[in-house]
Amino acid sequence: MKKVRPMLHVFRNKPKYATVRTNKASQDTAEINSSHSGQTGDPQWTRCDNCSSLIYNKELYKNHFVCHHCGFYFRMSALERLQLLVDENTFQPAEPLVSVNPLDFPGYPDKIAQCQNLTQLDDAILIGEAKIEGYSCVLGIIDFGFIGGSMGSVVGEQITRGFEYGIAKQLPVVVVSGGGGGARMQEGIFSLMQMAKTAQAVGRFKQAGLFYLSVLTHPTMGGIYASFASLGDIILAEPKALIGFAGPRIVAETTRQKIPPDFQTAEYALRHGMIDGIVIRSEMKATIGKLLSLHL
């Protein structure tokens, strides 16, 4: 067993040590290494997962990663999402943490290294302090490209520290979730326990009277949905995002019933009372800003 940091270490308070390109800049450098869906191999072009149109990346950036042919929402990497949401040069990332291999699960370290390469992230989360429409907040973004956006010890710890930092600095927290299965199998029971740890972090944050906005993107499932992601004071979702606990295939196999056509979509969740609203991608930043302004 590796010795781990036992207690509430909040975000570093040092000045920012990393900068993130803004929307404007990224339009000129569309070949940013990225893990959004539809990659073609050519850094200039992306293929629509839905209508198969080839889209010039500059266009895709301009259109917030929405296909202008068919309206399909591309899955965005955490870095792309960050650019979409935060005010220019305002993001200060948290102290970086990396996974260990607590179960000595075969192949796990390689997988981590691979994903770090692909996503340019230490783990499946990008988190830090940021400004959105001028309002300061803690912003966390789950990256699906990193082992399906699953929550191991690093994601759990970073989310928890994010809420603790929010309490310490009296800041609202915004988390953009998008994890496939939720749990990180390779960390076994440690992964499961992050559900408790993060849910408790949300609980303490709420007791401090602060505002937590949860934004669900495609897909938010399993242990991520069943912990911090569904505990927002307000929960928003992107259109058609898959939201649920059990995966649709497991549901189909278990129940052998006909699955409703929009099962587990954001629209389904809204109809069944589970989320507060659906917000289109181009309006997400303004909407988050507005909600932050209503909770000063």
Partner 1 sequence: MPTIFEWEKPLVELEEKIQELRNFVYEQGIDFKDELNDLERKADKLRKEIYERLTPWQRVRMARHPDRPTTLDYIKLIFDDFFELHGDRRFGDDQAVVGGIAVLDGEPVTVIGPQKGRDTKENIVRNFGLPHPEGYRKALRLMQQAERFRRPIITLIDVVGAYPGIEAEQRGQGLVIAECIEQMSFLEVPIICIITGEGGSGGALAIGVGDRILMLEHAWYSVISPEMCATILWKDVNKAADAAELLRLTSTDLLKFGIIDDVVTEPIGGAHRDHEGTGRQIKAFLRRHLSEIRKVPTDELVRFRLERFRKIGEYQTKKLSETQVEL
* Residues in touch with Zn ion (CB under 5 A): 48, 50-51, 53, 67, 69-70, 72
Closest C-alpha among 248, 181, 172, 245 to residue 214: 172
Instruction: Look up residue 149 and give its two tokens.
Output: 């956006």
**Minimum distance from CB of 3 to partner 1 (Å)?**
9
How distant, in Å, are the alpha carbons of 23, 36, 128, 270 from that of 26?
A: 5, 14, 20, 33
CB of 45 to Zn ion, least distance (A): 13
Binding mask 3-42 for partner 1 (x = CB under 8 A): -xxxxx--------xxxx----------------------
Measured from the CB atom, is 46 or 186 closer to Zn ion? 46
CB 107 within 8 A of CB 64: no
Residue 122 as a binder of partner 1 (CB under 8 A): the answer is: yes
| 76-115 binders of partner 1 (CB under 8 A) | 79, 93, 95-100, 102-103, 105-106
**Is the Cβ of residue 134 or residue 277 nearer to partner 1 in the bound state?**
277
DSSP state for residue 22 in the 8-state scheme:
-
Q: Which of 35, 37, 57, 153 binds partner 1 (CB under 8 A)?
A: 153
For residue 31, give the amino acid letter.
Answer: E
CA angle, residues 11, 16, 21, in degrees to nearest 5: 120
For 109, the token pair is 């370290």
Q: Which of 184, 177, 174 is nearest to 266 (CA)?
A: 177
Picked from partner 1, Zn ion, none, the partner binding residue 214 (CB below 5 to 8 A depending on kind) is none
Q: Check binding of 206 to partner 1 (CB under 8 A).
A: yes
Instruction: Give the type of residue at 237.
Output: A
Is residue 72 within the footprint of partner 1 (CB under 8 A)? no
The least CB distance from residue 155 to partner 1, in Å, is 9
Q: What is the sign of the dihedral through the CA atoms of 273, 136, 13 and 150?
A: positive
Residue from 193, 262, 282, 283 in contact with partner 1 (CB under 8 A): 193
The nearest distance, CB 2 to Zn ion, in angstroms, is 45
Between residue 131 and residue 150, which ones bind partner 1 under the rule CB under 8 A? none
Total of chain residues touching partner 1, rule CB under 8 A: 94
Residue 69: which of partner 1, Zn ion, none does it interact with, CB under 5 to 8 A by kind?
Zn ion
Residue 230 in contact with partner 1, rule: CB under 8 A: yes
Cβ 19 to partner 1 shortest distance, Å: 7
Report the partner that residue 50 touches, choosing among Zn ion, partner 1, none (CB closer than 5 to 8 A by kind): Zn ion
Q: What is the CA radius of gyration of the chain?
A: 18
Residues belonging to the chain: 296
**249: exposed, middle or buried (Cβ count in 10 Å: 0-12, 13-18, 19+):** exposed
* Contact residues for 139 (Cβ-Cβ < 8 A; gap 6+): 82, 85, 86, 91, 127, 128, 129, 130, 132, 173, 174, 175, 176
Residue 273's binding partner, choosing from partner 1, Zn ion, none, with beta-carbon cut-off 5 to 8 A by kind? Answer: partner 1
